[in-house]
């Protein structure tokens, strides 16, 4: 099955959904998570860095890691894949639902409207515990991490950690899109993290699902077509 035939499916579909993962941003220079050599999880242990327990146990260690990742994001630009998705949405308003697991904000930076960010945004912070009046009426005290000067409530990165609930609204809208789209493109994800990966399986049951990935992924079995290639190369071809 070629790119040309998938382009035909895209044109036929009543609406399309796109689910992206870290591979979407690899060609922008953002490391993926599970790539054997360069992936973040090949160097760091997720259970030590991406859980609430880990943050409560070692807030400075975890905070510094996010500061390092934010530094890495400085100057990073959307690639041709991000740009192709934003361009398609501009040319076909309301026809594309863009769902991402990425916290890098590159879809939004490329100008994609209404991005359903399932795992939050690494550029944002929020309170660790439900904020009290003291937390919101005083500027946070400087620190790693910053904290409430009165009760000590900590600031934490506004991303979804393992074991945490996804943002309800974004997840509900993503499930709706997966159930109603005629076609879902699944780009740059290993497909091992749920509930995000479950959206691709839902789309495959209701319509067509196409995987775009240079390597085998856990969703290849459910895909109607697997296109072995990269996001920045294939998305401009598929969406032109
Ligand atoms: N274009 C397309 N796909 C690519 C590219 C590329 N240029 N480069 C790598 N890939 C693919 C890899 O082959 C791999 O299948 O992207 C996938 C990245 O997989 P992961 O690193 O597991 O990232 P992701 O699937 O987004 O992880 C899901 O896990 O760690 C948590 O919360 C984090 O959102 C993340 C979730």
Q: Would the CB of 234 count as within 6 Å of ligand 1?
A: no
Q: Taking each helix axis from N to C terminus, what angle separates 80-91 and 231-239, rounded to the nearest 10 degrees?
A: 20
Structure tokens given for 43: 């160097």
68-94 b/e with 16+ CB inside 10 Å = b?
ebeeebeeeebbbbbbbbbbbbeeeee
So what's the pLDDT on residue 163? 93
Q: Determine if ligand 1 sits within 6 Å of the CB of residue 21.
A: yes
Angle at Cα 115 formed by Cα 114 and Cα 119, nearest 5°? 140
Residue-level pLDDT at 71:
94
pLDDT reading at 145 higher than 80: yes
Question: pLDDT tens digits for 178-220?
Answer: 999 999 999 999 999 999 999 999 999 999 999 999 999 999 9
Q: How far is the CA of 141 from the centre of ligand 1 (A)?
A: 36
- Domain 3-30+77-119+166-238 annotated CATH 3.40.50.10300: no
Is CATH 3.40.50.300 correct for 31-75+124-159?
A: no
187 assigned binding-site residue? no
| Alpha-carbon gap, residue 139 to 134, rounded angstroms | 9
Domain assignments of the chain as residue spans, ordered by start: 3-30+77-119+166-238, 31-75+124-159
Judged against a pLDDT cut of 90, whether residue 28 lies above it is answered with yes
Beta carbons of 6 and 187 less than 8 angstroms apart: no
Instruction: Look up the pTM and report it.
Output: 0.96
Tens digits of residue pLDDT in 91-126? 999 999 999 999 999 999 999 999 999 999 999 999
């Amino acid at each position: 099955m070629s790119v040309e035939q998938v382009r035909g499916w895209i044109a036929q579909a009543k609406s399309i959904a796109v689910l992206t993962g870290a591979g979407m941003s690899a060609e922008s220079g953002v490391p993926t998570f599970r790539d054997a050599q360069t992936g973040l999880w090949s160097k760091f242990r997720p259970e030590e860095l991406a859980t609430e327990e880990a943050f409560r146990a070692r807030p400075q260690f975890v905070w510094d890691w996010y500061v390092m990742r934010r530094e890495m994001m400085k100057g990073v630009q959307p690639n041709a894949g991000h740009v192709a998705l934003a361009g398609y949405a501009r040319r076909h308003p309301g026809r594309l639902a863009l769902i991402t697991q990425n916290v890098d904000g590159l879809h939004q930076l490329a100008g994609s409207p209404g991005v359903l960010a399932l795992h939050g945004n690494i550029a944002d912070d929020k309170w660790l515990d439900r904020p009290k009046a003291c937390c919101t009426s005083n500027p946070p005290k400087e620190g790693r991490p910053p904290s409430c000067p009165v009760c000590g409530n900590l600031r934490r990165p506004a991303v979804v950690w393992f074991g945490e609930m996804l943002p309800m609204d974004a997840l509900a809208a993503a499930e709706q899109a997966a159930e109603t789209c005629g076609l879902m493109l699944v780009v740059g994800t290993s497909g091992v993290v749920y509930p995000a990966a479950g959206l691709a399986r839902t789309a495959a049951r209701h319509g067509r699902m196409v995987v775009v990935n240079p390597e085998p992924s856990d969703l290849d079995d459910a895909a109607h077509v697997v296109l072995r290639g990269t996001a920045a190369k294939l998305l401009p071809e598929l969406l032109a």
